[in-house]
């Protein structure tokens, strides 16, 4: 899945022949999972219709300060639109519009929106060879870059004038790749490999029955997504859940038993920079597993259980430079038990949640946690949706990488 999936992208279209490429660009961005809105200069409508871009983006296209068909002259809020975007992309960016952007001129709706944007702004120049090389154009490039805008270099090829040279707007696929790479380079977990365990484990009694727990796996899956969004290469080892693969390029390894999870974790741990053990692993398993379904021949069924391997403790023994994070779900003496686990298993921090807290625990959409660090620090967090809890945990992990 593309790194721009879920992002809000505002595309500005200026009046250049390369505007026809914007249709393909919008389609690529939508296909990559972005939410796209389009702003056009009035003159850009001579090169591509708002209807085309509205159809492809699945959103209204804006080109003026008022809604033209509205007799009451309801206005389009350029400030609201500029604040809506996670990133703004002006493509094509003509010499005329670039000059106005550089000087702060806002004589149309697109330029006013650009000046209101608080997000990263990318621009893809498109003009003829002599215009591209003119000192005033180069001055516009330098000013815009000095303001923090990101220039997507033009390519070389046949131009509208019939000349061949620099000034051709980058192709839609090149623009998408440029933005993905630029975002990736700035992510705090770029080049980090993170192992995450999630969900329950099932320990077979016979071919039909098992010992398990109520874990849904939601916390671990949200952690995997949060880490991937921050640029990490994530391996998610998942016990049995009803959750679908989280996407975002995450490698998912599905297992059932604690032994299978143990084997998968140890296979990958050595190559990891960090591991987060959020799975609710069964502590015990039946010593003898029946090969056939056990019949109800008596009032009582006695199972002899044996201990499962302790995945987190074994990773703690094997860790070198890796950061290791565990979870503690407690019902009594919560902090004391969590601190004991933190020390015994050689963790860098442990995430504590209590079943006494309303809204925390298994099968919930929310969680309430405290994080206990090996240095003695403790951070308490309010009840939040698990997605936000995952972001809090990953933020603390990032802090350890940069400590």
Active site residues: 213
DSSP helix/strand/coil, 138: helix
Q: Which of 44, 39, 38, 43 is nearest to 26 (CA)?
A: 38
Q: What secondary structure, in 3-state letters, does 187-204 show? A: CCCCCCEEEEEECECCEE
Q: Which of 79, 93, 34 is nearest to 58 (CA)?
A: 34
Q: Dihedral of CA 325/326/327/331: which sign?
A: negative
Contact between residue 92 and residue 11 where contact means Cβ atoms under 8 Å apart? no
Sheet holding 35-40, edge to edge: 61-62, 35-40, 8-13, 87-93, 121-125, 150-151
Which backbone phi and psi does 23 adopt, to 5 degrees? -60, -45
Residues forming a β-bridge with 110: none
In angstroms, the CA 363 to CA 104 distance is: 53
């Amino acid at each position: 899945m593309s790194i721009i999936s879920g992002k809000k992208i505002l595309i500005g279209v200026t009046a250049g022949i390369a505007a026809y490429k914007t249709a393909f660009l919008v389609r690529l961005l939508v296909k990559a999972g972005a939410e796209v809105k389009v702003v056009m200069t009035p003159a850009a409508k001579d090169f591509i219709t708002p209807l085309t871009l509205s159809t492809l983006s699945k959103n209204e296209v804006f080109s003026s300060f008022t809604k033209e068909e509205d007799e009451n002259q309801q206005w389009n809020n350029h400030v609201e639109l500029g604040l809506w975007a996670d990133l703004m992309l002006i493509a094509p960016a003509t010499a005329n519009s670039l000059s106005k952007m550089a000087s702060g001129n806002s004589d149309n709706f697109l330029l006013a929106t650009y000046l209101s944007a608080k997000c990263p702004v990318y621009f893809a120049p498109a003009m003829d060879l002599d215009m591209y090389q003119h000192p005033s154009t180069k001055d516009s490039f330098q000013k815009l870059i000095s303001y923090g805008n990101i220039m997507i270099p033009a390519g070389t090829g046949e131009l509208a004038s019939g000349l061949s040279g620099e000034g051709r707007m980058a192709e839609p696929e090149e623009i998408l790749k440029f933005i993905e790479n630029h975002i990736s380079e700035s992510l705090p977990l770029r080049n980090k490999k993170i192992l995450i365990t999630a969900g329950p484990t099932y320990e077979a009694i016979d071919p039909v029955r098992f010992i398990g727990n109520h874990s849904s796996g939601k916390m671990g899956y949200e952690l995997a997504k949060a880490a991937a969004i921050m640029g990490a290469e994530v391996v998610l080892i998942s016990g049995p859940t009803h959750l679908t693969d989280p996407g975002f390029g995450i490698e998912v390894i599905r297992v059932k038993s604690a032994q299978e999870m143990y084997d998968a974790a140890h296979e990958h741990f050595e190559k990891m920079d960090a591991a987060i053990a959020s799975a609710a692993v069964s502590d015990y398993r039946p010593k003898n597993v029946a090969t056939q379904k056990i019949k109800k021949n008596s009032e009582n069924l006695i199972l002899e259980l044996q201990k499962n391997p302790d995945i987190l403790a074994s990773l703690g023994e094997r860790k070198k430079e890796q950061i290791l994070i565990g979870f503690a779900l407690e019902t009594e003496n919560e902090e004391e038990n969590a601190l004991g686990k933190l020390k015994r298993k050689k963790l860098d921090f442990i995430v504590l949640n209590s079943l006494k807290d309303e809204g925390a625990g298994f099968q919930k959409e929310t969680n309430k946690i405290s994080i206990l660090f090996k240095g003695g620090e403790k951070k308490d967090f309010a009840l939040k949706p698990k997605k936000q809890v995952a972001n809090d945990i990953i933020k603390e992990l990032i802090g350890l990488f940069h400590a």
